[in-house]
Amino acid sequence: MFSKEQLIENAIKRLKAKNEEIQNALGFKIDIDTLTAIKEKITTQKFYEVKPSDYMPVVVGKHAFSESILTYKDYSLGGDFEEGILDGNSNYSKLAATDTAIDGVTVPIKDWAKKHTFNILELKKASTSGNWSLIEAKEKSRFKNWQLGIQKVSFLGLLSNTGIKGMLTQADVTANTAVITKNISDMTATEFQAFLKAVLAAYYTNSDNTVLPDSFVIPTDDYLGLGTAVDETFNMKSRLQRLKESFAEITQNPNFMIKPLAYAQKERNSDFLGAGSGLNRYTLYRSQDEESLRMDIPIDYTPTIQDTFDGFSYQSVAYGQFTGSKAYRPKEMIYFDHSA
């Protein structure tokens, strides 16, 4: 049994510990003693980060302060070639004609702005912590918010605005569910060979026999398993090597790219694809042609100066403009989906 004095002392210790926990959660106050050494380098938070420009053309700095971008698309009209063949009995006043038609694709531009604030007391308190800069940390936090937001929009679009699509959520791109029915890394040797035979053929048919792709995006969890051999009884090459060789050889493009993408995993895209279930989405497309696929950032992240209205509280605003990703030639992209 504890005495009354011990119970009170233990209660005070618990309250003190809880108070320190609250103070230390996201504040400046972290208790140290004379034997505590403070390391110069600060450990920062990690995020999943990829560069959208590694996956698609991203045009920065054009059409600033506009509300939308209109891209014209022209079409050739003219009937069959043989309609133009002439013979001695031809009526030259009724020659077959060719013509052209024009259409437009309008992509909305979204405005973005966020502020951060601090006051002199916060600044002075933070300065006593040694090598940590409050203003620098706030600016890095805001820029990271922009960077990660643009990253997610480029691949998935916006949940709050279904008109803003990402590379993986294009409404007019065909989704094929027959060619890939399980992870490529889980396929048997026979299934893998059938996949290699069918996948580029499906793309070429989808493009009306006009072009071949230059890139293949794979869900990251499947990509990480492609180091296994196609057939362990003849394990000279991994599945990834065979994929690269096959795509490069058939497309006659030695620079054909195969890239992993976490947003292509069903756990990452479930809010955007499949009403909560999500899909593992593989994408064959042309990643180097901005007439095929493009994202625009009319105004890149732009911070304003730190300003004050009363000499005590300071505020800074950063702003920018962005669009979603748009497949301007949707037949030059194809999705392969499975939910296994």
The per-residue pLDDT for range 150-201, each reduced to its tens digit, is 999 999 999 999 899 999 999 999 999 999 999 999 999 999 999 999 999 9
| Res 12 pLDDT > 70 | no
Choice between 76 and 12, residue whose per-residue pLDDT is larger:
76
The CATH number of the structural domain formed by 61-86+98-340 is 3.30.2320.10
Say which residue the tokens 């893998």 belong to: 192
The overall pTM is greater than 0.75:
yes
Residue 333, amino acid: M
CA atoms within 13 A on the CB side of 254: 0
Q: Where are the domains of the chain?
A: 61-86+98-340
CB 203 within 8 A of CB 286: no
The enclosing H or E element of 134 equals helix 134-156
Residue 303's CB is within 10 A of a number of other CB atoms, namely 16
| Helix (H/G/I), strand (E/B), else coil: 254 | coil
Give the span between the Cα atoms of 333 and 269, in whole angstroms: 18
CB 340 within 8 A of CB 277: no
Residue 328's CB is within 10 A of a number of other CB atoms, namely 15
For residue 218, with 0-12 CB atoms within 10 Å meaning exposed, 13-18 middle and 19 or more buried, which class applies? buried
Choice between 200 and 74, residue whose per-residue pLDDT is larger:
200
The per-residue pLDDT for range 236-278, each reduced to its tens digit, is 889 999 999 999 999 999 999 999 999 999 999 988 986 556 8
| Helix (H/G/I), strand (E/B), else coil: 265 | coil
200, two tokens: 């580029």
Q: Residues 205, 207, 209, CA angle at the centre, nearest 5°?
A: 60
The predicted structure's pLDDT at residue 276:
54
| Res 11 pLDDT > 90 | no
